A and B are shown apart, each in its own frame.
Chain A
Amino acid sequence: MDVEKLNIKNLIFSKINRKLTLLFVIVGLVAPALAIYYFYTISISSVPEALYAKQAPLLRTVAIMIIILIAVNAGIIGFFVSRSISKPIKKLYNATHEVEKGNYNVRMDIKTHDEIEELAQAFNRTTAALGRLEEERKEIDSAKTEFLSITSHELRSPMTPMKAQLQMLEEEYFGKLKKKQKDSLGIIVRNADRLDNIIVDFLDISRIEAARLKFNFQQTDITQTVKDITKFMEAFAKEKNIELIVNADKLPIIEVDPDRLSQVLRNLINNAIKFSYENSKVEIAAELKKEYIIFSVRDYGCGLSPENQIRIFEPFYQVESATRRRHGGTGLGLAICRGIVESQNGKIWVESKPGRGCKFYFTVPLEPVRKIKPIKILFSHKGAIERKIREEFQSILGPLGVGEFNELKSKNALGRDDIFGYIDSLTEQYIIPPERGLDFKNRIERIYGFEKDIINEKEDIHHDNFGDEVIKRG
């Protein structure tokens, strides 16, 4: 801990030190000056003139010497006194920094027997309280994951007899069915399957969040795996007469979990087929980079608006409810894909322009990550974005910012375009100058991830399918 490490130079020139020392020097100058003035005007006037004139130069020298000596002394004393005040304050400052970084175990040991000691004790109590809250937050978080895992299991067990009985009815184990009975049963079966899919997805999410997602690494021929997955998906593609084009040659054999890889790739291809128009194509590619393999799935469907491009990785976020009704699915697929990819230190993102289709990318490292970290999937991404936007509101608009932010939030108007409209209204009314508005916009853009990805900066991976304005995100 670097609370103890104090920079001497900073100490000497610290503001409080300077102020206090100066005060002592002034007192040291004024006090003897007053004393000597009193000595001259009152005491000396009673002394005979001749004697005074004779002794005057000596007296003056002595007086000046006394003033200087007292001033110097006062300065030195002042320095040490002020240091005794500023040192614990500096310590407190450093400790506050530690707390800011999330270290709630910092405790101050200041024994100055004054208000500063009291302040330090109050600080200690506050940090202890923060520590307890943090502990509680962690417990609640793991309880959430645990709850999710247990309920999913409990929800899944009744599915077994339910689905079995339904299938028996459907297979006419108990006698022939009329058409209307069959139709009704069909609806029940379809929805039971959908419910079961959601439960399975929840189980996956609880595993990802608790870092219990199992990866079964084995030497895998990536080219072959991609081809196998594509072949598997061809049946779905045929229904809409969509051509699947694979470009995944000359890839190495690496250690991955082929089941997880295929889970992600299948999900992306499935989405691509879902959102493609009939008689179009879906391109699947995999390419070797320095430290990873980059996979991509490109469709020529309706594309995504910039805001949807980032929100699409949130759980249960589907672009609009109408498409959900048309396309089915649990709304958890991409969130799970993100969890799986990030568990392996990979990245997943999408490039798109509305009306011109989407291209999903994800990366898989050449070396598997054996130590799995917990990844937050539920209630995380959106929260982080909102927090950042709030901070920007505060930094640009000052104390007013929070209120404005809350108002926009209550109107559910925190999308990129909503905020841009709001900033425009601010500049039009001259509440903030145009340059500041532009700066504000840039900051919001950055939060919504319009910056180029780090990966993209290193190596050029986009093939410019969307014209000049390619938007990227992680």
Chain B
Amino acid sequence: MTKTILVVDDEPDIRQSVKTILEVNGYKVVTAVDGDDCLEKVREYKPDLILLDIMMPGTPVDDIVKQIRDIKIAFMSVVRISDARKRGLCTQENIVDFFQKPFNVTDLIDRVELILNE
């Protein structure tokens, strides 16, 4: 069965790029432009994984994440974040990975596959 991935980023070019990468590799992709949009799309599409930009305008990502408990989340961030900070961020069980932007396409696909097959 085709897995659905929700890509949340305020930058259209990043949404577009990630969407293409994932679609070419056989996933169904939905996009959202900010945190609130993300919550709406979660209700509507019930994705298997959310790729969530850690810094977006609007409702803080921390608050959004608290409202999603049953779907796997992977963060994306352009700011380099230390391992310690990563551990601090991954407090919720459904937060499964952390992607550093700019990411490597092959690496992204490999890790997404790994997450969804767990």
Name A residues whose Cβ lies closer than 8 Å to a Cβ of B: 153, 156-165, 167-168, 171, 173, 196, 200, 203, 214, 216, 259
In the complex, the answer to whether A173 meets B78 with C-beta atoms within 8 Å is no
Residue numbers in B under 8 Å from A165 (CB-CB):
17
Q: How far is the CA of A153 from the CA of B77 in the complex (A)?
A: 11
Given the complex of chains A and B, what is the CA–CA distance between A124 and B16 in angstroms?
A: 63
Flag whether B106 is at the interface (Cβ < 8 A).
Answer: yes
- With a cutoff of 8 Å between Cβ atoms, the chain B residues found around residue A200 in the complex are 80
- Please report which residues of chain B, range 93-118, place their CB below 8 angstroms from some CB of chain A when the two chains form the complex: 101-106
Q: Does B36 contact A (CB under 8 A)?
A: no
Given contacts A167-B105, A168-B105, contact A161 B13 (CB under 8 A): yes
A161 in complex: contacting residue of B16, B82, B83, CB < 8 Å: B16
B1 close to chain A: CB less than 8 A: no
A164 contacts B80, C-beta separation under 8 Å: no
| Inter-chain contacts of B13 with A (CB < 8 A) | 158, 161
30 A-B pairs with CB atoms under 8 Å apart are: A153-B78, A153-B79, A156-B78, A156-B101, A156-B102, A157-B11, A157-B78, A159-B102, A160-B14, A160-B78, A160-B102, A160-B103, A161-B11, A161-B13, A161-B17, A162-B102, A164-B14, A164-B18, A164-B21, A164-B102, A164-B105, A165-B17, A167-B105, A167-B106, A168-B105, A171-B106, A173-B20, A200-B80, A216-B84, A259-B83
Please give, as numbers and ranges, the residues of chain A lying within 8 Å of B102 by CB-CB distance.
156, 159-160, 162-164, 196
Judge whether B103 and A173 touch: CB under 8 Å: no
Complex CA–CA separation, A203 to B14 (angstroms): 21
- Asked if A167 contacts B79 (CB within 8 A), the reply is no
Nearest CB of chain A from residue B103's CB, rounded to whole Å: 7
A130 to B83, CA, bound (A): 45
Asked if B17 and A164 make an inter-chain contact with CB atoms under 8 angstroms apart, the answer reads yes
Chain B interfacial positions (CB closer than 8 Å to A): 11, 13-14, 16-18, 20-21, 24, 78-80, 82-84, 101-106
- Are A214 and B82 in contact (CB-based, < 8 A)? yes
User: In the assembly, what is the distance between CA of A259 and CA of B83, in Å?
Assistant: 9
**Shortest Cβ-Cβ A-B pairs, 6 listed:** A161-B13, A164-B17, A167-B105, A163-B102, A160-B101, A160-B102
C-alpha spacing A163/B102, complex, angstroms: 7
Q: Could you list 20 further interchain pairs (A-B, Cβ under 8 angstroms) beyond the known A160-B101, A168-B105, A173-B24?
A: A153-B79, A156-B78, A156-B102, A157-B78, A158-B13, A159-B101, A160-B14, A161-B11, A161-B13, A161-B16, A163-B102, A165-B17, A167-B105, A168-B20, A168-B24, A171-B106, A173-B21, A196-B102, A216-B83, A259-B82
Which A residues lie within 8 Å of B104 (CB)?
A: 167
- Kindly provide the distance from the CB of B51 to the nearest chain A CB, expressed in whole angstroms: 12
Chain B nearest Cβ from A411, distance in angstroms: 43
Considering the chains assembled together, what is the distance between the CA atoms of A196 and B13 in angstroms?
Answer: 18
B17's partner among A168, A203, A216, A259 (CB-CB below 8 A) is A168
Q: Cβ of A153: which chain B residues have Cβ within 8 Å of it?
A: 78-79
B106 / chain A contacts, CB cutoff of 8 Å:
167, 171
A171 to B11, CA, bound (A): 23
A163 to B100, CA, bound (A): 13
Complexed CA–CA distance, A365 and B96 (Å): 36
User: Is the beta-carbon distance between B14 and A161 smaller than 8 angstroms?
Assistant: yes
CB distance from B101 to the nearest CB of A (A): 4
A15 to chain B minimum Cβ distance, whole angstroms, is: 63
Q: How far is the CA of A168 from the CA of B21 in the complex (A)?
A: 7
CB neighbours (8 Å) of B21 from chain A are 164, 168, 173
Selected contact of B82 from candidates A168, A196, A216, CB within 8 Å: A216
Give complex CA distance A400, B44 in Å. Answer: 81
A41 to B14 alpha-carbon distance, docked (Å): 114
CA distance A467 to B66 in the complex (A): 65
Q: How far is the CA of A163 from the CA of B108 in the complex (A)?
A: 13
Q: A173 to B106: give the CA distance in the assembly, Å.
A: 11
Residues from chain A with a CB closer than 8 A to the CB of B83 are 216, 259
Closest residue of A by beta carbon distance from B13: A161
Q: Is the CB of B105 within 8 A of A171?
A: yes
Contacts of A160 in B (CB 8 A): 11, 14, 17, 78, 101-103
Q: Given A159-B102, A160-B102, A164-B18, answer yes or no on A203-B78 (Cβ-Cβ < 8 Å).
A: no
CA distance A214 to B82 in the complex (A): 8
Which chain B positions have C-beta within 8 A of A259? 82-83
Closest approach, in angstroms, between the C-beta of A256 and any C-beta of chain B?
A: 14
Contacts of A173 in B (CB 8 A): 20-21, 24
A248 CB to nearest chain B CB (Å): 23
Q: With A and B bound together, what is the CA distance between A156 and B78 in angstroms?
A: 7
| Distance to closest chain B CB from A168 (angstroms) | 6
Docked Cα-Cα span, A165 to B102, in Å, equals: 11
